[in-house]
Amino acid sequence: MILRIDRHLTELPPPSSPDPKGASAVQELMGGKFGEMSTFLNYTFQSFNFRNRQGARPFYDLVANIAAEEFGHIELVAATINTMLTGSSVDDLRDSHTPQQFIAGGKAALAQNSHGIPWNGDYVNNTGDLVEDLMANFLLETGARNNKLKVYESCEHPAARALTGYLLVRGGVHQVAYARALENLTGADVSKLFPTPRIPTDKIPEAQVHMKAGKHLKLYRFSPSDYLELAAVWNGAHPETGEPLVVEDQAPEGVPPFALPAETDVFAPDYAPEEIAQIAKRLRTQAGLPEMPTGVVANPTNGNGLVDKVAP
């Protein structure tokens, strides 16, 4: 099972000028073949279906634990799309590649790619053959970083830049993790065999901040008591920087997310969000909870927990 923490893995900027076209491009990182739904569900199914897990424990722990991190990546991609759509007008849907964000959703992320095509379960590679699945994972992380760099270059919106800067660094960790697992099993160094995209992560300002914090070296353990064998694979020197790889024995501290304002023109969460907030307040008080909302968000809200509309 998964324990859920109501924080983001990394800081994203608050809404600024809306960018619906950019938000369509970012959809590829959500529901594209090499998007975060694919990484999350590839590793999730591989861990669910893992046979002889005690006999292969370090590899099981690696796949199961990275799956948990990918859940947080999906959350970041959704938050980025929602941030980029905040303050946009329904007229913008005419220029959007993914008008369902407006028509079927509340100016929000979809489980679709940048053409509005739904994410597909066929993107999951899970043969049961550990080496084959790890190889698919290495290529999936490689393709994911390739796509992220192109979204970085094509989207100037600060939320898209912050997202891709962070995910390029974390995807690099996962690439190295699967390469090391394969090397341990087969002796082959796939990062040398494959001319993976040469991504100069250390030259990208939005990635540099995370490398300075050492996040390119850390594999986080996303469980209070399980997945203890990560260090059997995640050890030695980083193949590009030579620095020592480290297992961090906890989830990242994370940051409180921005509470995004209501978008009343698409009824999200309603045409009159104040009414829901009044009902919520009454229910809280009746249940003996504090009058003010208890959740922690990055931005100030009023006494009902409502955020002012962000001006484009």
Q: Which residues bind Mn ion (CB under 5 A)?
A: 36, 39, 70, 73, 171, 174
Closest CB 284 distance from Mn ion, rounded Å: 35
Nearer to Mn ion, 106 or 171 (CB): 171
Nearer to Mn ion, 145 or 157 (CB): 145
**Measured distance CA(304)–CA(293) in Å, rounded:** 7
Nearer to Mn ion, 36 or 133 (CB): 36
Closest CB 166 distance from Mn ion, rounded Å: 10
Q: Is 179 exposed, middle or buried (0-12, 13-18, 19+ CB in 10 A)?
A: buried
Closest CB 113 distance from Mn ion, rounded Å: 15
Closest CB 171 distance from Mn ion, rounded Å: 5
Whether the Cβ atoms of residue 46 and residue 65 lie closer than 8 Å to each other: no
Question: For the chain, what is the HEC assignment?
Answer: CCCCCCCECCCCCCCCCCCHHHHHHHHHHHHCCCCHHHHHHHHHHHHHCCCCCCCCHHHHHHHHHHHHHHHHHHHHHHHHHHHHHCCCCHHHHHHCCCCHHHHCCCCCCCCECCCCCECCHHHCCCCCCHHHHHHHHHHHHHHHHHHHHHHHHHCCCHHHHHHHHHHHHHHHHHHHHHHHHHHHHHCCCHHHHCCCCCCCHHHCHHHHHHHHCCCCCEEECCCCCCCCCHHHCCCCECCCCCCECEEECCCCCCECCCCCCCEHHHCECCCCHHHHHHHHHHHHHHCCCCCCCCCCCCCCCCCCCCCCCCCC
Nearer to Mn ion, 77 or 108 (CB): 77
Nearer to Mn ion, 86 or 113 (CB): 113
Closest CB 216 distance from Mn ion, rounded Å: 13
Nearer to Mn ion, 28 or 36 (CB): 36
Nearer to Mn ion, 19 or 70 (CB): 70
Closest CB 232 distance from Mn ion, rounded Å: 19
Closest CB 92 distance from Mn ion, rounded Å: 28
